Amino acid sequence: MVLVKICVYVCTQVPYSITNGFISLSTDRDPIFVAQFNLINAITLTINILSNGNSFYTYFCVSKRFRRQANHVLYDFYMNHCRQNQIHPNQSEGLAMNDIACSMFVIS
């Protein structure tokens, strides 16, 4: 698991560092050259930003136990708790608090 996380980290963080190094050391001010490096920098920066969620995706792809827990939390909780919010004629105010709690879970 740790080896996979290290490989994902290296593949997502190193390209941005390399392109930033090339841009800062470059003395050529040709507009086409600068535009090409700006494009490469934007692409590697996007990959770098998207790598913030790589721990979740790494665990989700590698660990069977993590997939089961994520399925339980994300799907079963919603189906068992938030789907029970049907209004019945004899229901008390306790349901309103449950609606608020479930809507807060879904929004965040």
Same-domain pairing of 20 and 31: yes
- Tens digits of residue pLDDT in 5-58: 888 888 888 998 898 888 888 888 889 988 998 899 999 989 888 888 887 778
One domain for residues 102 and 69: yes
Handedness of CA 39, 42, 48, 49 (dihedral sign): negative
Q: Are 58 and 78 in a shared domain?
A: no
pLDDT at 97: 52
Q: Is the same domain home to 92 and 73?
A: yes
d(CA 67, CA 65): 5
Both 43 and 1 in a single domain? Answer: yes
pLDDT at 108 exceeding the cut of 50: no
9 and 46, same domain (yes or no): yes
Q: Do both 5 and 35 map to the same domain?
A: yes
How many domains, the chain?
2
Among residues of the chain, what percentage have pLDDT more than 90? 6
The pTM is what? Answer: 0.51
Residues 24 and 56 in one domain: yes
Domain hosting residue 96, numbered range: 64-108
Nearest one of 4, 16, 18, 8 to 51, comparing CA atoms:
8
